[in-house]
Amino acid sequence: MASGIPFQYLPLEKTSDIRLLQISLSPDSKRLCGKFTHVSLDVIPPIRVPYAAISYHWGSADMCDQIRFDEGHYLGLNSSAGKILRSFAAHLDFEFEPCFLWIDALCINQNYNMEKGSQVRQIGRIYSSARQVLAWIGDESTDSDLAMDFVVILHDLMIYFGTPSFSDVISVPGCEHRSPGWKALDALLQRPWFSRTWIIQEVVLGTHVVRLCGQKAMNWSALGFVANVIIGLDLEKLLFFRRDGSFPDEKVSSVTLEYALFQGLDFKATNPRDKVYALFGISTDIEAMGIDVNYNATVKEVYTDATIRILNQGTSLSLLNSAGIGKYRNDEHISINHDLPSWVPDSNLLSIPASSEDYKMPEASKAKKSLININSTNPDRISMKIQGRSVSRVTAIYPSRPTTVYKNNVGEFQVELKQRRDWIIETMNYASRLEPYPSGIPWRQVYSRTLVNNKLPLPFRGMPVEPPYWEHLDVLLEVLENIIGANAQEVSEIEKAGGVIEGFDEEIVEKTRKFASGVAFRGRMFEMDNGYLGMGQEGMEVGDEVCLFYGGETPYIVRRLTECQSKATNQTSGHEYVLVGDCYVDGWMDGEAMGIGEEKEFVLV
């Protein structure tokens, strides 16, 4: 495909300079033509050339298109960038017409890591200085217009009701629980653009964000408002349809990199370094920590450096809750391995921290200030010394929960639910031998709380405080029994007719859903030598130590290296450990274990 002379970028003179692109189509509309202009972000007013910044999903790296410059020079384009630019060039007379565009694939010299790193540090300013951000969701599909129109309907509906209830929303014609609008909206939100790490700062920092799907446009604030209310009302369950058709904007002024990492845990990046770098634009503590963008560094170096700098601030150990060798034992959760220290989380595998803004925060040893010392003299073996308490050891590990497999019909779904029911009963029988429990709480309550990590939901927008999720165990078991014993053919016919199955009113279904979502959150139950019950990681082993790290929100599981393993690492003082992962222990989460066990220093590698 390539013909002509590859385009040679002129260097940017200052770190505050950026390239803007003007585009057009050749007279026969076959060739995409472009011209670069260099501008500075430091001029007053901030930017004299109005431009639109493009937010899009990169997609395949294969160069299947090109853009032409003067004298026959060209740059290759992948499919996504080519489609976007051709669409904009063909519709330059529509109402969102920009004079100039900024698109990272072309406006940054992707082959020059020095410039790439410098420009990435400016991404926040680039998006905040743009006249508007054009978020290209993708090509038009059969139901994309329906989805975007449905968002407008929901937005108007929620503005009308103020704080609508679940019943308010689904009672409106066109918004019923089987409305095709929900399915279309789910399909739209499943598009790759919504999973990009970069969109976090692109949307947060953009002054005027417009979503584009094909040639249909919508202001981002409408979708943002709708999504916020949907999640608050637990309407998001309407977005997840089974194959048979049934269904089981505020601007941020101060955000730490640690917080941003957790907010971006479900997002993806083509370059794993961008799981960190893509958040620099919204993180307000980057300068204070002295982190720089360096695409010449290995992924291991990027993740380790970010972890060290965050932990050295001494304000939180939450990153340790996403680290540990035990979290990566389940093949379904492994994406890549960067040979990281056990205490450094893989940013591609971050998990939700123990301290979620939706639930009461545990304080297992948070009352005591963290004491850490990181030794990075040997880059191949960076260790962290941390003070804490060794409290107990793992003596028994309960069976793993059944694997969840997507089912196509009611009969197969019943078989899977029977496996889950049997697993709950089996593990309940194991837990019953812990009576009397050390904390004095009845074993059944301990089991139920452990199953959902004792989630205590906080009030939302002035709504009444919900009861603890663990209280719904009996409701879950009753629902499981009803579904398992139901006639599969009758259930299918009722669902197809849009009816409600007897015994499954809105309240029961909601309680079951919340408890079940909590059950699916963690790994395996385990017992300790002092009679406590916990929920830990799949990769833990009998004999692992259960400890507290001073300043931590939760207990942690660690594994002591053998003498031979320590000698291989040239460790001369203390015993080395690997972090297996964080855990929940019923009766420890509010500091009760701070007086148990012995104080010691752990050397994590």
238 band by pLDDT with thresholds 50, 70 and 90: very low
H and E: helices and strands count for the chain: 19, 19
Pairwise CA distance, residues 156 & 141, whole Å: 24
Provide mean pLDDT across the span 207-213: 69
Q: pTM (2 decimals)?
A: 0.74
| CA–CA dist 243, 490 (Å, integer) | 18
DSSP, collapsed to helix, strand or coil, labels residue 163 as coil
Is the pLDDT score of 344 beyond 80? yes
**Predicted confidence (pLDDT) per residue in 248-280, tens digit:** 334 445 688 988 888 776 677 888 898 899 888
Rounded mean pLDDT of 75-79? 89
Average of per-residue pLDDT values in the chain: 79
With the C-alpha atoms ordered 409, 415, 418, 424, is the resulting torsion angle positive or negative? negative
pLDDT at residue 64 is higher than 90: no
The whole-number pLDDT of residue 30 equals 78
The neighbour count for residue 599, using CB atoms within 10 Å, is: 11
- Identity of residue 543: G
**How far apart, in whole angstroms, are the C-alpha atoms of residue 517 and residue 303?**
30
Between residues 21 and 4, the one the model is more confident about: 21
| pLDDT score for 335 | 39
CA angle, 350 then 448 then 418, to 5°: 85
Joined tokens for residue 449: 């709380």
Q: Going by DSSP bridges, is the β-strand pair 209-213/216-219 parallel, antiparallel, or unpaired?
A: antiparallel
pLDDT value of residue 59: 75
Helix (H) or strand (E) holding 381: none
* 392 φ, ψ (degrees, to nearest 5): -160, 180
Instruction: List, for residues 526-550, the tens digit of each pLDDT value.
Output: 999 999 999 999 889 999 999 999 9
Length of the chain: 605
Residue 103 has pLDDT above 50, yes or no: yes
Choose among 176, 356, 183, 342: nearest CA to 265. Answer: 356
Phi and psi for 304 in degrees, rounded to 5? -65, -45
Residue from 157, 158, 181, 319 nearest 228 by CA: 158
Please give the share of the chain, as a percent, with pLDDT higher than 90. Answer: 30
Higher-confidence position of 274 and 215: 274
How does residue 4 score in pLDDT terms, banded at 50, 70 and 90? confident
